[in-house]
A = this chain, B = another copy of it.
Amino acid sequence: MASFPMNAWYAAAYDVELGRSLLARTICNQKIVFYRKEDGSPVALEDACWHRLLPLSLGRLQGDQVVCGYHGLVFNEGGRCTHMPSQASINPSACVRSFPVLQKHRLVWVWPGDPALADPGLVPDLHWNDDPAWAGDGKLIQVKCDYRLVIDNLMDLTHETFVHGSSIGNAAVAEAPFVATHGERFATITRWMENIEPPPFWAGQIRHARAYVGPVDRWQIIRFEAPCTVTIDVGVAEAGSGARGSEGRPGDRSRGVNGQVLNTITPETDGSCHYFWAFARNYCLGEQRLTHELREGVSRIFREDEAVLEAQQRAIDERPGYSFYNLNIDAGAMWARRLIDRRIAAEAPVGPGGARTIPLRAA
């Protein structure tokens, strides 16, 4: 069974990473070269010359086309060869694969599957990344693990208590009850911790933004969007100020501070991933120093996760065929995995008798 669906938009680069030069990146086991045309729009081509397989990323741009660095074959943005050395006629089969690609919410997205299905409306919602009501910044890190281990990690924040005890974790997170919901494409975990002592990170934020010191109501609303995007609505407000709201009615967060942890994790190979994250906030928007501080602070926290995730991947690699045990806290991760598995199964080859091949491991 494949470990990811092919028919999906995957983040390939931050907008600022891509310019008028060739960027090589592996997405879903596929080597791809990215560049921008003169009008700024992105192009994504298979990163191997049709002729002798040299990565096109070792060549150079010529206008909107790419010239192979070995024998000078030229390919246009559609992947068609437009020039061959020492010959007038061009073999009509000479082309490399071209991938649907677009830019949205400060990321460049690529669709490695069937181009006919590449509906721009399916790009995951990360609008906070370029919404003027929010400020923030992010990073790209490479993690040597199956992207789904990162999803598992994000869907269960009780790990904050044990992995991030010095910053955002405290016992309240591990013991607080949560509510899990899910649909066809989304799964959510909502956890409220009311009237608690804030952990160091949030104590600092609310004191800085609102000069408040004292107990808080804290929330974590984790939203998974298949196959690999997780946004986490996090924050604290003065205890008892009504941030939670009641059944069906949204709360009043005006006496709190609110952040969005934005995560999209692109499979690089079956055992590694590109992890794009950002932290956006709705307070102190103009404070450049705070943006910088939060980016580096979150970066330190994610490095703690990285060590755990890579150790976990190595342990899995040593035990082929191992199935995980699940605890109550894994409800969110289990739903995320199910939604991913359904997407993968829907793409699996149709078996004899007309039925799709059923994955051996029940979702």
Contact = CB atoms under 8 A, between A and B. Distances in A.
B174 A312 contact: no
A311 interface: yes
Contact of A327 (B85, B325, B329): B85
| Nearest 4 interchain pairs by C-beta | A53-B315, A72-B162, A85-B174, A87-B328
Contacts of A48: 315, 319
Nearest to A153: B70
A71 interface: yes
A103 to B, nearest CB: 28
6 contacts: A31-B318, A68-B162, A70-B162, A72-B174, A85-B158, A93-B325
Nearest to A307: B58
Nearest to A57: B311
Interface of A: 31, 48, 50-55, 58-59, 67-72, 84-87, 91, 93-94, 152, 156, 158-159, 161-163, 174-178, 307-308, 311-312, 315-316, 318-319, 322, 324-325, 327-329
A67 to B, nearest CB: 7
B316 A54 contact: no
Nearest to A50: B325
Nearest to A58: B311
Contact of A69 (B67, B72, B163, B322): B163
A91 to B, nearest CB: 7
Contact of A72 (B84, B91, B158): B158
Main secondary structure of the interface of A (DSSP, over half): loop
A193 to B, nearest CB: 12
Contacts of A55: 311, 315
The residue among A67, A72, A86, A311 with the most chain B CB atoms within 10 A of its own CB is A86
Contacts of A86: 158, 174-178, 327-329
The residue among A31, A67, A70, A94 with the most chain B CB atoms within 10 A of its own CB is A70
Nearest to A84: B327
Nearest to A91: B325
A327 to B, nearest CB: 6
Given A68-B162, A69-B163, A162-B68, A85 B175 contact: yes
A308 B69 contact: yes
Contacts of A54: 308, 311-312, 315
Nearest to A191: B86
Contacts of A91: 325, 327
Contact of A94 (B59, B176, B325): B325
A87 B156 CA distance: 14
Given A54-B315, A68-B162, 17 more contacts: A51-B324, A53-B315, A53-B322, A54-B308, A54-B312, A67-B162, A69-B162, A70-B159, A72-B161, A84-B327, A85-B329, A86-B174, A86-B177, A86-B329, A87-B327, A87-B328, A91-B327
Contacts of A59: 162
Nearest to A68: B162
B71 A156 contact: yes
